[in-house]
Amino acid sequence: MLGVQDGTVETPQLPVDTQVGAPDAGAVAPSPASSPAVQTNPADDVNDIVVTGDSGPPKGDPLEQLNAKSFQTVQAVDKAVVEPVAKAYNKGLPRPVRKGLRNFFSNLQEPVVAAAYLLQFKPGKAVETAGRFTVNSTLGFVGLFDVAKRKPFFLPHRDNGVANTLGYYGVKPGPYMYLPIVGPTTLRDIIGDTVDKMILPFAVGKPFNSPAFVIPATILNQLGERAAFDETIQAIRNEDDPYTVYKTMYLKQRQAEIDALHGRVSDEPIVHIYGESIPTPGKKDAPKITLPDPDGADADEPVTDAPQP
């Protein structure tokens, strides 16, 4: 018990052998060998989970590293060689001539577009496309002038082909690729586009299967599209990640074209990087280009400003 004397508290004294902290005479002290000392590290109290390692290429782009290298090489060649030639082409030929050449090459693909609509069981669009080809091939002087889109015909151009037909029936794009000369594409698109380009030479023959026609026609067609696409290319090069931006733009346009065949359109804008939607440059400055956000883009979602179904 605790004693109280003169307002003070007395604490009883314990025997030496029972005092707290005193060793027990009968106890055997553990040896260092049998009981190793445990040392604590303050860093061990932090329950952080650290994950290391490469997360791998993004979905849909398994060849990302190879594609990025190809993109850098092509852009370097383009900047050194193709861009100066395209700008000389743009300045050397009047706009009506450049527009006429683009119309001519576009008109050559109208039979392929019509055939694609037939494969998609859209006979109305197929007939309109065939009518457009007939009007422009005759009244439009072999397609140099797009008479069919004006009054009284009102037959607009629509992009279509084997790749779109595959996509229409649910064939996925497959891996994304960036190839020299071809540019951005996917496994589905490279197969479809190759078939599209082979139809006319095999169906008609000369001069469309002759190198004397094919080589200069391909060069003029590519230069015309490169000149029309110049403003967008310059904007892409100013981005932090031009490869991803370019890939995003291509995949979004391709998905928009296939969505349009099903009548699906959303409010998300797209930037066209090929086709009739790219205006032939004129004297006026091109409008400001708003590039898509690669981090928030999803090529599987439908987008707006798509070609008519």
**Which pLDDT belongs to residue 294?**
64
Residue 14 lies in a domain: no
Residue 270 lies in a domain: no
**Which pLDDT belongs to residue 282?**
72
Residue 72 lies in a domain: yes
Tokens representing 286 are 């091109």
**Which pLDDT belongs to residue 279?**
80
E-assigned strand segments in the chain: 3-5, 8-10, 176-179, 183-186
DSSP 52: -
The CA–CA distances, whole Å, from 230 to 105, 225, 251, 280 equal 19, 9, 19, 10
Residue 146 lies in a domain: yes
**Which pLDDT belongs to residue 177?**
96
Residue 51 lies in a domain: no
The model's pTM:
0.74
What SS3 class is residue 30? coil
Tokens representing 209 are 């299967």
Residues 6+ apart with CB under 8 A from 110: 129, 130, 132, 133, 136, 157
Residue 284 lies in a domain: no
Q: Consecutive sets of 10 residues in the chain, 309 residues long: mean pLDDT of each?
A: 46 48 48 50 54 69 94 95 93 92 94 96 97 96 95 93 97 96 94 94 88 91 89 90 94 93 83 81 59 56 44
**Which pLDDT belongs to residue 305?**
44
The number of distinct structural domains making up the chain is: 1
Domain that holds residue 137: 64-239
CA distance 292 to 309: 23
Residue 274 lies in a domain: no
* Positive or negative torsion for Cα 138, 140, 146, 152: negative
